[in-house]
Amino acid sequence: MSTTIRRFLALSALASLAVACGDASTNNNTTDSGIVGEIDIARPDVVSGDAAADAGRSDAGPADVGAVDAGPADVGAIDAGPADVGVVDSGVVDSGAVDSGRVDSGALDSGTPDSGATDSGATDSGATDSGAVDSGRVDSGATDAGAGDAGSTGATATLWVLRLGTGSASVTNAATAAFIDRRRASDGASAGDTIALPVAAAGAQNPITLSGTATSEGSLTRSADGRFVSLAGYAAEPGLASVAGTASSATPRVVARINAAGMVDTSTLLRAAFSANNVRGAVTVDGSAFYVAGTASPGGIYRVDFGNTMNAVQVISTPGNVRTVGVFNGQLYGAASTTNFYGIFRGGEGLPTTENATAALLPGFSSTSGPSPYGFALLDRDPAVAGVDTAYVADDRAIASGGGVQRWTLANNTWSLGATFSTGITSGVRGVTAWVENSVVYVAAVTAESPSRLVLFRDVQGQTPGAAVALATAATNTVFRGVALAPSN
């Protein structure tokens, strides 16, 4: 073949190749712009500025537009990805799980713990009260009583409550083990380990038990200097039948003194007082001596030095049937419901130490039958009146007959009943203590209900007394008796 022919064929091939490449370039541009157009139209969530940049209008390169800038993975996954927009921005987490209130509104704010779901006493009656440590009232006290309600009162004090029984068997008139449950006045929750009172002799220390069914026993009092809590019982191990009817020569009456650390001393005995009858309570000024109340012949109020086991002095013989005893502002007082004494009385002048001091019913209290007072607390609330001028008295009568916590005030040398707190309880009360916080008087009481309860009242000057707030309920086979403010160091 000639050189001329070969040159012609080569030129023709080159021309055909050029035409083919021009068609391919045109098709490529059409396809790329179509992909970009589909992305811009089909992804309304993508911001137009981002679409324009990713479309590659200035980049022009097919590779940039198709593979990188306008790729569905790039735009879809980052700019408009369902995980990004749907999960985070749409609020599945923020508004659904958290903000909708499943935690705040449902679990906490709706009041499940405060609503009283467990307040029915299912836990209150709990068999866990057989434990010597918490008596099972921590859960039921805090939850059952409505911690939010009690807490809103602002009470910050700690209460000590006398509990009889382990919960393992019914309480009877036999000698019964006793415990001090420590509770917060704000909501009834535990404020420390339960104090188990001794049930066996150890050196100079004696057992102290009480009758499980003698409701007049078990008064609990705080010392005048605030350092001790004291009570009275029997120097008998648990199980001694009809313990209140035993002779004190064989079963001495015993005083327990307990300090703020929970140390119990039961070295003080009365061997001739309250024989064959009830010993009910004891109070001390500073832990060095005690006034002990009860009934018998002889009964009344005895004074005994701390640690003494032989010599007790009968300072009050009339009335001979005394339910509770207290010391306020340097004066001995007692409560009785017996001939000529149906209320609070002064036990002699000041703090008597000799026999047969004269008791005098406080003017205004009844000298005739009717009232049934037990525990009491005296406060100095009126600066215009010298000494104590307000009394909170527990009365165990039926509510319709005047039972509940009575508030008495002193004016012109006469005591007058001003109010009775009984809303929220179904019977009268026996144990009581009162204190002041931020101008509010808080009154804690142990009810005569069955089961017995620890409740709290608020007394605000000028306001009608509110309903009782339940702090704890005695578990099955146990009973609450006295209540006192916790001692301090």
Q: In this predicted model, what pLDDT tens digit does every residue of 41-75 receive, in sequence order? A: 333 333 333 333 333 333 333 333 333 333 333 33
- Of 455, 360, 420, nearest to 144 by C-alpha is 455
Task: Using the predicted structure, report yes or no on whether residue 81 has a pLDDT greater than 60.
Answer: no
CATH class of 132-485: mainly beta
Note the pLDDT tens digit of each residue in 338-351.
999 999 999 999 99
CA distance 270 to 249: 9
pLDDT score, position 151:
47
CB atoms within 10 A of CB 382: 14
Residue 376: pLDDT over 50:
yes
Whether residue 33 is predicted with pLDDT greater than 90 in this model: the reply is no
Q: How confident is the model over 376-391, as a mean pLDDT? A: 96
User: For the chain, what percent of residues have pLDDT higher than 90?
Assistant: 66
95, burial (CB in 10 Å: exposed 0-12, middle 13-18, buried 19+): exposed
What are 153's two structure tokens?
């009162």
Specify whether the CB–CB gap between 119 and 145 falls below 8 A. yes
The model's pTM is: 0.71
Q: How confident is the model at residue 463 (pLDDT cuts 50, 70, 90)?
A: confident
> Is a pLDDT exceeding 80 seen at residue 13?
no
Tell me the per-residue pLDDT of 417-458, one tens digit each, with 9 for 90 and over. Answer: 999 999 999 999 999 999 999 999 999 999 999 999 999 999
Across all residues in the chain, what is the average pLDDT?
Answer: 78
Between 10 and 361, whose confidence is greater? 361
pLDDT of residue 464: 85
pLDDT value for 17 = 37
| 59 Rama class: left (phi>0) / alpha (psi -120 to 50) / beta | alpha
Higher pLDDT, 28 or 211: 211
pLDDT in tens, 146-176: 333 444 568 999 999 999 999 999 999 999 9
For the residues 252-276, what does the mean pLDDT come to? 98
Give the pLDDT band (50/70/90) at residue 297: confident
Give yes or no for a contact between 309 and 268, defined as CB atoms under 8 angstroms apart.
yes
Cα–Cα dist 227/156, whole Å:
18
The answer to which of 46-50, 245-249, 459-463 has the lowest mean pLDDT is 46-50
Q: Per-residue pLDDT averaged across 359-370, rounded?
A: 98
The pLDDT assigned to 152 comes to: 53
pLDDT band at 357 (very low <50, low <70, confident <90, very high): very high
**Which residue is listed with tokens 């609450």?**
480
More confident site: 308 or 46: 308
Q: Where exactly are the structural domains of the chain?
A: 22-89, 132-485
